[in-house]
């Protein structure tokens, strides 16, 4: 193996990413080296590409970006004895510390010292990724690399959707981005009664309806109440999954929830936004903030659900060879796509 590889790097403090040569990472005793096969482009990567305020404050330069991946283990650290070379895998991109009370209690996803690959640490948009063996999630044969590359956002969807009991419940998902659509698929899979998804982007709603058996509502054109009436829902939704980060969507969710309803918030608003707290108090609504995925409970649950009929494949709308990453990012930035997956096997390593 050459000790050089190609990687998609935020090389300068400006808009865009570039394909650069970088050293193949050296692994420590408890790490593995993963050869990357496929990667997913995330909204976070688009923020980093756009070099917005958040990215400028968060991302060190230079940095190999990317955190959604599927690949194969090609090297084991000397103390790694529970994984094998050739094992196909994805992995948790949150690198956790082991010192906090939360970590010591086994609540790894709540560790305050978490660092993200492709955000704070060298990432997965590369031929090779170093990852602690602890973070590796082996992939069963029936989960191919396309799905392996989107397990990270599917994990966000699963963790959010499983925040509350959905069996027999009427569920409102606001925001038909890739994560909203996958959360709707999970709600349907685990036995929700009605699943309604809202957006203001008709393409996204059309995609949602192709992927999941649900009721899409374009809230720029249609009243949510009309749909509730058509579905014979008399008191509103039982559970809301907020997946847009949009203030109006949250307001609408609170307005359309039953007394005692429950909301899981995954969407990240761009800044501080006004909330009608008295409405939330008088409706006795429970709100849960959701960050990342449970390490590793969400991973086990989502793999089990995928093996048991959960189908999110059609949320991947575009596949490109990684040499065409610029087109991939353009498609993501257009808002007209679902997930975009890049194939690293066809990389032109010579240039
Ligand atoms: P996305 O930006 O692709 O999708 C958001 C969707 O919300 C878009 O389709 C947009 O048109 C829609 N929207 C805008 N205004 C709306 C309104 N008034 N009503 C309904 N929908 C509206 O995002 P994504 O990649 O699917 O991620 C979903 C959200 O989750 C984003 O806010 C993202 O930042 C956040 N996120 C959070 C975490 C976490 O750990 N908390 C992790 C990943 C993503
Ligand atoms: Zn992601």
The string of DSSP letters for 131-199 reads EEGGGEEE--TTS-HHHHTTHHHHHHHHHHHTTS--TT--EEEE--SHHHHHHHHHHHHTT-S-EEEEE
CA atoms of 278 and 282, how far apart (whole Å): 6
C-alpha 155 – ligand 2 centre gap (Å):
9
Distance 33 CA to ligand 2 centre (A): 20
What is the pLDDT, as a whole number, of residue 349? 66
Name the region of 232 (left: φ>0; alpha: ψ -120 to 50; beta: rest): left
Q: Could you say which of 1.20.120.420, 2.40.30.10, 3.40.1710.10, 3.40.50.720 is the CATH number of the domain covering 155-289?
A: 3.40.50.720
Atom of ligand 1 nearest to the CA of 220: 18
Nearest CA to ligand 1 atom 1: 177
Inter-residue long-range contacts of 272-278, CB under 8 Å, 24+ positions, other chains counted: 273/247, 274/247, 275/250, 276/251
**For ligand 1, what atom is nearest to the CA of residue 174?**
20
- Ranges in the chain annotated CATH 3.90.180.10: 4-150+312-349
Ligand 1 atom with the smallest distance to the CA of 219 is 19
* Interatomic CA distance for residues 73 and 111, integer angstroms: 26
Residue 122 Cα, ligand 2 centroid: separation in angstroms?
15
The reported pLDDT for the residue numbered 351 is 57
Shortest-distance Cα residue to atom 35 of ligand 1: 267
| Host H or E run for residue 209 | helix 202-211
Distance 267 CA to ligand 1 centre (A): 5
Residues with CB under 6 A from ligand 1: 43, 156, 174-180, 198-201, 204, 219, 243-246, 248-249, 266-268, 290-292
Q: For residue 205, count CB atoms less than 10 angstroms from its CB and return exposed for 0-12, middle for 13-18, buried for 19 or more.
A: buried
Q: Whose CA is nearest to atom 25 of ligand 1?
A: 43
Rounded CA gap, 155 and 162, in Å?
A: 10
pLDDT at 50 (0 to 100): 97
298 part of the active site: no
Among 41, 47, 111, 245, which residue has the most ligand 1 atoms within 8 Å of its CB, making it the best to mutate? 245
Atom 4, ligand 1: which residue's CA is nearest?
A: 177
CATH topology for 4-150+312-349 is: Quinone Oxidoreductase; Chain A, domain 1 (3.90.180)
| Top mutation candidate among 221, 243, 335 for ligand 1, by most atoms within 8 Å of CB | 243
Q: Which residues, other chains included, contact 347 with Cβ-Cβ below 8 Å and sequence gap of 6+?
A: 6, 127, 321, 322, 323
pLDDT at 2: 79
Residues forming a β-bridge with 171: 195, 239
**44 labelled catalytic:** yes
CATH 3.40.50.720 boundaries in the chain: 155-289
d(CA 215, CA 172): 10
- Cα–Cα distance measured from residue 343 to residue 328, given in angstroms and rounded to the nearest whole number: 11
Taking Cα atoms as reference points, which of 260, 249, 190, 191 lies closest to residue 224?
249
Instruction: Report the alpha-carbon distance of residue 265 to residue 42 in Å, rounded.
Output: 18
130 C-alpha to ligand 2 centroid (Å) = 18
Residues of the chain with pLDDT under 50: none
Among protein residues, the one whose CA lies closest to atom 15 of ligand 1 = 246
Does the global pTM surpass 0.85? yes
**Predicted pLDDT at 347:** 82
Cis geometry, peptide bond prior to residue 56 (ω within 30 degrees of 0)? no
Tell how far the Cα of 57 is from the centroid of ligand 2, in angstroms: 18
């Amino acid at each position: 193996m050459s000790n050089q590889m190609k990687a998609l790097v935020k090389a300068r403090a400006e808009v865009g990413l570039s394909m650069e040569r970088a050293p193949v990472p050296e692994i420590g005793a408890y790490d593995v080296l993963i050869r990357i096969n496929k990667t997913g482009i995330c909204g976070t990567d688009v923020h980093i590409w756009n070099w917005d305020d958040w990215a400028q404050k968060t991302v060190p330069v230079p940095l190999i970006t990317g955190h959604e991946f599927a690949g194969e283990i090609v090297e084991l650290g000397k103390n790694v004895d529970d994984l094998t070379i050739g094992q196909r895998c994805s992995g948790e991109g949150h690198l956790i510390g082991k010192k906090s009370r939360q970590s010591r209690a086994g609540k790894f996803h709540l560790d305050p010292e978490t660092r993200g690959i492709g955000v704070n640490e060298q990432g997965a948009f590369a031929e090779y990724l170093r990852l602690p063996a602890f973070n590796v999630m082996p992939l069963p044969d029936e989960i191919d690399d396309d799905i392996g590359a989107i397990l990270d956002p599917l994990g966000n969807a699963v963790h959010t959707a499983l925040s509350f009991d959905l069996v027999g419940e009427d569920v409102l998902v606001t925001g038909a981005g890739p994560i909203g659509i996958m959360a709707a698929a999970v709600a349907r899979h685990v036995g929700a009664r009605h699943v309604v998804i809202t957006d203001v982007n008709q393409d996204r709603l059309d995609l949602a309806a192709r992927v999941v058996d649900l009721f899409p509502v374009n809230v720029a054109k249609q009243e949510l109440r009309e749909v509730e009436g058509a579905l014979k829902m008399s008191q509103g939704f039982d559970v809301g999954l907020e997946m847009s980060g949009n203030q109006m969507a949250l307001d609408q969710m609170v307005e359309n929830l039953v007394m005692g309803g429950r909301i899981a918030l995954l969407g990240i608003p761009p800044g501080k936004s006004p909330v009608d707290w008295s409405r939330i108090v008088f409706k006795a609504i429970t709100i849960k903030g959701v960050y990342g995925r449970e390490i590793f409970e969400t991973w086990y649950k989502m793999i089990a659900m995928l093996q048991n009929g959960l189908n999110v494949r059609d949320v991947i709308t575009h596949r490109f060879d990684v040499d065409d990453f610029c087109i991939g990012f353009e498609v993501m930035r257009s808002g007209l796509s679902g997930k975009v997956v890049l194939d690293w096997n066809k990389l032109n390593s010579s240039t």
